[in-house]
Amino acid sequence: MRRCSSARGALLLLLAAAACAEDLAVGRVTEKVVCREQPAQSYALYLPPAYTADKRWPILYLLDARGRALAPVERFREAAATYGWILASSYDSRSDTKDDPNTPALQAMWRDTHARLALDERRAYLAGFSGGARASVAIALAAPKAIAGVIGCGAGLHDDRISLDGLPFRYFGTVGDRDFNYYEMRALEARLAAAKAAGRVEYFAGGHDWPPPDLAAEAIAWMETEAMKSGARSRDDGLVASLYARDLARADALAAQGRQAEAFQRYARVAEDYRGLADVGVEEARAADLGRSRVVRKALDDAKSRDEDDREAIRAIARKLNAALASPEPAASAAVAAQLGIPALRRKAASGSPEERLSAERILANLRVQSSFYLPEELLAKKDYAHARLSLEVAAAIDPDDPLVYYNLACAAARAGQVGRTLADLQDAVDKGFRSFARIDGDPDFSAVRADPRFRAWLEKARAGADAPTPSAP
């Protein structure tokens, strides 16, 4: 009987592997997998080149803020191939919605991947961007034994009141140095350290986005070593030695460049990350020595002070903008932009010192997302079209050459039924480079003006102009 059972098990594994090879690509992305139990839900899938059904594999579920399933797969794919991870990325995840689409999206992917694939039950991970990052933390807290780790990208917790003491999963945060959520992630990093939680935050050059592939790889590598420390995966001394040498070399390079505060942080991180896997006595000693340095302490204090100054500037600007949007009669947008300090911030972002430039860019990024999205959405929902327009005109003062700012102004005018203003704003968008006319066709914001002959005539003429060949130089 044992021999028969063993043979039957081997046959089932072979059939499973054959089915996988037939339906799902190994070593490349399957762009769309429809969930069998819930056909309305779908996801992109990546199986690493070594995938077979006769062993169990870690899986990373990805929740993008706009359901762009392929975007995070491209960021994590190289690391997934290197470390043998499966990627499953939802087309149905969303951010900034009234309901919660992310939990159903994950549940559908979870059931479908567990039915199709050979997964390591101890090593299921979540990664989310923006609102997807917040949703990933919320889901992991609600299912602490099911989720081994979270990679939170571009945003932190769904609720800042959450205690981080005894965090039941590993957390790796990423954020761009010009992201409007940069200061939130800085504060989260400090909270993780204070709680002695198994977590860290890493920074990259960029704005509000998924991490670049090298940082995505670092996040997965960190989860690998954390899994070794917890016993969730077998120890791989060769991998530990390679990663340890890489991270130590980074710390040594910072020290050699005279960047002592950064070297201190990196040595301390190496000691924490590899404690229990390697002898980290040297790194602990170097971190302790640098931590006592007056130069390092001053640099850390200065950075903390700059962060607080920027946070206060953001709060002050928000108060001024909210006051302008609450006034009975909207003020001129140029006057509001000047009151908010936008011209000075733009000059600083263009020509200040590196620290001043980043500071100005972050403050402008915070003001941009509020004035171009959150505040206009609130005001349009209340049919306060005049103040919604003022908010969007503030966004135009920040980015006067961005065609999408003028497109959004046109959307607001259209919702107010202002055909002439809608066409003027759309023409401004086209003059700035807008060419996505199919977007206008499907955008419900233009429902109130779509049948107007002036709107139809403008759209036809704009399309014809965009399709016309560019004259060649004489």
Tell whether 198 is covered by a domain.
yes
> 35-60 pLDDT, tens per residue?
999 999 999 999 999 999 999 999 99
Residue 467 has a pLDDT of 67
Same domain, 168 and 33: yes
Q: What angle do CA 396, 402, 406 make, to 5 degrees?
A: 60
**Measuring CA to CA, which residue among 124, 130, 120, 118 is closest to residue 106?**
124
Residue 80 has a pLDDT of 98
Residue 187 binned pLDDT confidence (cut-offs 50, 70, 90):
very high
Asked whether 72 and 129 are in contact (CB, 8 A), the reply is yes
Same domain, 214 and 252: no
Range of the domain at 109: 15-234
Reply yes or no on whether the pLDDT at 98 is more than 90: no
Same domain, 94 and 155: yes
Which residues lie closer than 8 Å to 199 by C-beta, 6 or more apart?
Answer: 164, 167, 170, 171, 172, 173, 192
Asked whether 418 and 388 are in contact (CB, 8 A), the reply is no
Same domain, 33 and 164: yes
Reply yes or no on whether the pLDDT at 449 is more than 90: yes
> 364-391 pLDDT, tens per residue?
999 999 999 999 999 999 999 999 999 9
pTM of the model: 0.90
β-strands 119-129, 86-90 pairing: unpaired
Same domain, 247 and 149: no
Tell whether 396 is covered by a domain.
no
SS3 204: strand
**What number is the average pLDDT over the span 126-154?**
96
Asked whether 35 and 43 are in contact (CB, 8 A), the reply is yes
**What number is the average pLDDT over the span 188-207?**
95
Same domain, 205 and 277: no
Tell whether 276 is covered by a domain.
yes
Same domain, 81 and 166: yes
Which residues lie closer than 8 Å to 374 by C-beta, 6 or more apart?
Answer: 96
Residue 371 DSSP one-character state:
I
Same domain, 124 and 146: yes
**Measuring CA to CA, which residue among 121, 156, 119, 120 is closest to residue 141?**
156
Residue 2 binned pLDDT confidence (cut-offs 50, 70, 90):
very low
> Domain boundary residue among 195, 215, 234?
234
Number of structural domains the chain divides into: 2
Tell whether 4 is covered by a domain.
no
Same domain, 223 and 286: no
> 314-338 pLDDT, tens per residue?
999 999 999 999 999 999 999 999 9
Tell whether 151 is covered by a domain.
yes
**Rg of the chain, C-alpha, whole Å:** 26
What gap in Å lies between CA 398 and CA 164, rounded to an integer? Answer: 37
Asked whether 250 and 264 are in contact (CB, 8 A), the reply is no
**What number is the average pLDDT over the span 406-423?**
97
Ranking 8-17, 202-211, 330-339 by mean pLDDT, the lowest is 8-17
Average confidence score pLDDT of the chain: 93
Same domain, 252 and 225: no
